[in-house]
Structure 1
Amino acid sequence: MEADEEQWRQYDALARRAYGHPVEDILRLGVHADRRVVVRNGKVIAGGMGMLIPQFFGGQPIPGACLGSGCVAPEERGGRLAGRLLSERIRALRERGAVLATLWTNSNGYARRAGWEAPAQVFTWSVATDGLRRSFRRGDCDITHGLSPETEQLQRDLAQQWNGPLVRPEWWISWQREKYRSTSYQFSRKGGVPAGFLSLSARKRERAELVVQDFWATDSGVASAMLEFLGSYSSSVPTIEFERTGLPPYPVLLHNLHHSASVSAQAKPGWMFRILDVEAAVRLRGWPPDVDTMVPIEIAADDGDSRDRYAFRISEGKAELSPTRLPSRISFTPRQFAVWYAGGYRTVTTAQLSGVRGAPEELGPLIRATTDREPWMSDHF
């Protein structure tokens, strides 16, 4: 059921007990979210929230559901309540137009069993600040503390170049700043408009660290200037950590580090993705204008008990799925289809090794149709 204010406060207290620590986003984001709880005998025993936020795929914003902060009371676990609650949270957002859904979770196995998949590997990076200082040069960039409206437009323009980033609502930056107590800097070419920005926050464990949550640059020169700026902290902070959303998956960091620089990567649970309405998702997505193909495909359940057959057509930057009775020559499961849609299969080989069935000469055009942009979830929620 949809939560009222008192039930949501009860859920906040429940989440503190279930997670073992406060979950500040429950109250912070609750005003922007669809809030769902399960109540038994007047007591909240489970809940979660979802936000209707579009995501960029193929350069186009697709209506999406971002799910977060879900949990079940410890004494209620084991009764499949989480799965039923997840379905209810999705149903409410589908009724409001969502055709995609995304979440972050440490329970990837559970999410896969529920029909979700991770389109890309996710890492955090830890780099010695002194290594950044010795490896990169600032060049001709001017640095300004704080962000401007031009920076927000820059972020949106750059986000369109990837598959997955959110179309950030107006309140997003202020929420992130409050959550992480972060500081932002924008980088501009001499006399020009902003060409990059980063946001970072301090964290103290055994030793002080700076943690980067946002890192956006128009080109490698600006990215190098931003990395050199981070290296300027070497006198006071020994390590820079790039959060799992904090560094785009391009090689500017590793390819330019001095050979003596200390750097490490740690794999993290990835963002999980699911398509709620395949026909709408295909119709609304952006597609490369140079791909022209038509092939019958099927999207079959993992257990093989049900399957939907479609004619997939793509031409002049547009695509559609239409039901067909033609024998399928390419077969996806829903989870494989989600990875393909996000550009997660970079080659025919990776698709086939992941279980996608189809001849290479017919899979090839489909793979090329989604690999013009790489998958990257640049936002944590």
Structure 2
Amino acid sequence: MALEVRTARDEDREAMHHVGQQGFAARPADYDEKSDRSATPLDRRLVAVEGERIVGRLAVWELGQWFGGRQVPMGGIGGVAVAPDFRGKGVATALLHQVVAAMRERGEVLSTLYPMNHTLYRRHGWETAGSYPEQSLDLRALTALPKPSRQIDIRPTAEGDLLAVSRLHEDVSRDEPGNVFHGSVFAARRLLGYAGIQEGYVAETDGAVTGLLILTRSDAPKGDQGFYTLSINQLVAADLDSELALLRLVAAHYPVAREVTLVVPPHAALTTLLGERDLRPAGQGWSWMTRLVDAAGAVAARSYAAEVDVEVHLDIEDSVAPWNAGPHVLRVKDGQGLLEPGGRGDVRLGIGRLASLYTGWAAPRRLARLGLLPGAGEQDLLGLDRTFSSRTPWSRDFF
């Protein structure tokens, strides 16, 4: 029987949940209709169906990522799951091919995901393109942080804070390449925390929201002296005083809790306030993968350093999205980028490799040394480096 990939329907909800539990849960949970209806809208979910049975599913968050100080429309893929007896039969492939076309129709020029299977996604055009620098920290280290230099008020988040915290998140993230923009209401609501699951707090300075903290509690590891551990899902602050006030709130959980995990890059303010061994890598070492859904649209959507003036002739391979494939000329000038069909096709690369350059994750010269940019000459490498070089891309958001 032929496999069909289509948009999810209301009557598919429980079956999608069942497939997801088979894919991700050690102890499957019952279907929660209220939670499901508050999640990704059905028109942004795909299912793979054989006969009347749903054998695969995925969802796409309506998001964006910051590159060059601009929001680039991005489809955040999550929850890719296939029924155990249908794995290895092309179900995930069919879903991914269909979702690339769907994202292009919606104008989502990038797609980013957190992979469980790098080989699968790499085969279809995604490539490692940024980090999720999760760290573990003994709460005692936070108790020694200095006090804010001025009055910062802390209170729980409320429904009316959504616009203010969204603007704060945007203002802080725009200069951090790879950070996520919460475009839709469904995505933005994550910035308030989920009632009964997370604790949300805002920092206020003279009545204005200047910080956001979202905390989750988890069971303490066996043998740990604490009653629970903490995870910081969001820590966004407009200034150091607001960040210190929020971190001191986290520290106030000690000694009932002994450990906190958080996502923090090496250049963050917190790393300058702690001992060099206080922060330790944690979690599963996640990195995210990105795909250029519409390569020309992605190049045009971001901005570039005003002094960059380059032209590089590319030959792009993309077996999933033929509109990206073939010889193209990359031109960047006056802060604007253009990728047009044609040219000599000097530098040969796959669409995933181009994505890793686009975000600033990969260094052109290193790729060339590894033989991964065949045809690239000195001027090509210099041009690609000037175009895409940036601070290491990272994201504080997991989806």
TM score, norm. by length of structure 1:
0.86
**For 1:218 and 1:365, how far apart are their aligned partners in 2?**
34
User: What CA deviation, in whole Å up to 9, does each residue of 1:130-171 have, x standing for no partner?
Assistant: 112224443325032134333321111222112233321233
Give 1:18 shift: 3.5
User: Which of 188, 204, 227 is matched with 2:219 structurally?
Assistant: 204
Which amino acid is the alignment partner of residue 274 of structure 1?
A: R
**For 2:10 and 2:344, how far apart are their aligned partners in 1?**
52
Alignment of 1:1-381 (within 5 A): 1-20=6-25, 21-22=28-29, 27-31=37-41, 33-147=43-157, 148=161, 149-168=163-182, 169-175=184-190, 177-178=193-194, 181-189=197-205, 191=206, 193-206=208-221, 207=226, 208-220=228-240, 222-242=242-262, 246-258=263-275, 262-266=278-282, 267-300=284-317, 308-326=326-344, 328=346, 330-345=347-362, 347-353=363-369, 355-357=372-374, 358-381=376-399
C-alpha change, 1:193 and 1:370, in structure 2 (3 Å) is farther
**For 2:66 and 2:197, how far apart are their aligned partners in 1?**
27
**For 1:331 and 1:137, how far apart are their aligned partners in 2?**
54
C-alpha change, 1:300 and 1:86, in structure 2 (3 Å) is closer
C-alpha change, 1:179 and 1:37, in structure 2 (3 Å) is farther
Could you say what secondary structure the match of 1:92 adopts? helix
C-alpha change, 1:115 and 1:142, in structure 2 (3 Å) is same
The 8 Å contact of residues 125 and 351 in structure 2, kept in 1 or not, is answered as yes
Give 1:224 shift: 4.3
The 8 Å contact of residues 133 and 265 in structure 2, kept in 1 or not, is answered as no
Give 1:219 shift: 4.5
**For 1:307 and 1:14, how far apart are their aligned partners in 2?**
34
The 8 Å contact of residues 132 and 396 in structure 2, kept in 1 or not, is answered as no
Unaligned runs of 5+ in 1: none
User: What CA deviation, in whole Å up to 9, does each residue of 1:215-274 have, x standing for no partner?
Assistant: 1233455444443442232232111111xxx33452433333136x64321352322110
**For 2:369 and 2:396, how far apart are their aligned partners in 1?**
27
Give 1:180 shift: 7.5
**For 1:301 and 1:30, how far apart are their aligned partners in 2?**
28
User: What CA deviation, in whole Å up to 9, does each residue of 1:23-71 have, x standing for no partner?
Assistant: 8775542436522212223121222222333332222222222211121
Which amino acid is the alignment partner of residue 44 of structure 2?
A: D
Could you say what secondary structure the match of 2:41 adopts? helix
| Percentage of identical aligned residues | 21
TM score, norm. by length of structure 2:
0.83
Give 1:107 shift: 1.2
Unaligned runs of 5+ in 2: 1-5
**For 1:263 and 1:96, how far apart are their aligned partners in 2?**
40
**For 1:274 and 1:226, how far apart are their aligned partners in 2?**
35
**For 2:364 and 2:345, how far apart are their aligned partners in 1?**
21
**For 1:213 and 1:99, how far apart are their aligned partners in 2?**
26
Which amino acid is the alignment partner of residue 199 of structure 1?
A: I
C-alpha change, 1:62 and 1:106, in structure 2 (3 Å) is same
**For 1:226 and 1:325, how far apart are their aligned partners in 2?**
53
**For 1:251 and 1:313, how far apart are their aligned partners in 2?**
33
C-alpha change, 1:230 and 1:356, in structure 2 (3 Å) is farther
Could you say what secondary structure the match of 2:127 adopts? coil
Which amino acid is the alignment partner of residue 350 of structure 2?
A: T
Decide which moves more: 115-124 or 311-320. 115-124
How many pairs are equivalent?
371
**For 2:38 and 2:266, how far apart are their aligned partners in 1?**
30
Which amino acid is the alignment partner of residue 115 of structure 2?
A: T
Which amino acid is the alignment partner of residue 15 of structure 2?
A: Q
Give 1:116 shift: 0.8
Which amino acid is the alignment partner of residue 232 of structure 2?
A: V
C-alpha change, 1:182 and 1:380, in structure 2 (3 Å) is same
C-alpha change, 1:247 and 1:114, in structure 2 (3 Å) is same
**For 1:366 and 1:194, how far apart are their aligned partners in 2?**
40
Which amino acid is the alignment partner of residue 397 of structure 2?
A: D
C-alpha change, 1:152 and 1:68, in structure 2 (3 Å) is same
Which amino acid is the alignment partner of residue 195 of structure 1?
A: T
Which amino acid is the alignment partner of residue 209 of structure 1?
A: T
Give 1:118 shift: 1.5
